[in-house]
Amino acid sequence: MGRHVEEARMNPVMKATMKAGSSLMVSLYKASGGRIGGRVKGLQVILLTVPGRRTGRPHTTAVSCFEHAGGYVVAGSAGGMPREPQWFKNLRKAPAAEVQLGRRRFRAAVRELLGTERDEVWRDVVVARAPFFADYSTKGHRTIPLALLTPLPEPGLGA
């Protein structure tokens, strides 16, 4: 267990490097409309913006996603780290998120997938399309949380 705790903590240099890399990825994605950074390991990448659960300030992160049920499934894998990523903790507290998919931007309802539904989507969508995600669960010794982002109607459209 001691080894797990040590792996879960990043040293300050690693943490700063990860933050800088994430910021660069988001900037390149925005500037290129997703041409740069829009796919990683063969998966579609979106920019996800949600308010911080403590500060309320918007935070944007690039995350891979899986089209499913009229929306997009995102997985809080953190690449197999033992701790859940901060962006997923923020997402869990947000009723809606801002999403950028390529050049398209939209608001999406957020719903965490739980229980049997989560397990089925994990198996039939996430691991079926990206088998390496199973390694993240094993490596991190945790159940990877999933959420479904469902696009909301644009204001002023319809009716």
Domain count, the chain: 1
Reply yes or no on whether the pLDDT at 90 is more than 80.
yes
* Residues paired with 111 in a beta bridge: 148
Q: How far is CA 148 from CA 6, 75, 95, 151, in A?
A: 31, 9, 11, 10
- Structural tokens at position 98: 């801002």
Looking at residue 47, what is its pLDDT? 96
Task: Note the residue count of the chain.
Answer: 159
Reply yes or no on whether the pLDDT at 4 is more than 70.
no
Contact, 93 vs 55, CB < 8 A? no
Looking at residue 6, what is its pLDDT? 38
Reply yes or no on whether the pLDDT at 14 is more than 80.
no
Looking at residue 120, what is its pLDDT? 98
Rounded CA gap, 143 and 50, in Å?
22
Q: Tell me the residue range of the domain where 140 lies.
A: 2-151
User: Residue 125, CB half-sphere, CA atoms under 13 Å: how many?
Assistant: 21
120 within some domain: yes
Contact, 91 vs 147, CB < 8 A? yes
82 within some domain: yes
* Residues paired with 146 in a beta bridge: 75, 113
Give the tens place of pLDDT for each residue, 45-88. Answer: 999 999 999 999 999 999 999 999 999 999 999 989 899 999 99
Reported confidence tier of residue 11, pLDDT bands at 50, 70, 90: confident
- Average pLDDT value over all residues in the chain: 89
Reported confidence tier of residue 9, pLDDT bands at 50, 70, 90: low
Looking at residue 10, what is its pLDDT? 64
Reply yes or no on whether the pLDDT at 159 is more than 80.
no
109 within some domain: yes
CATH of the domain at 89: 2.30.110.10
22 within some domain: yes
45 within some domain: yes
Looking at residue 157, what is its pLDDT? 57
158 within some domain: no
159 within some domain: no
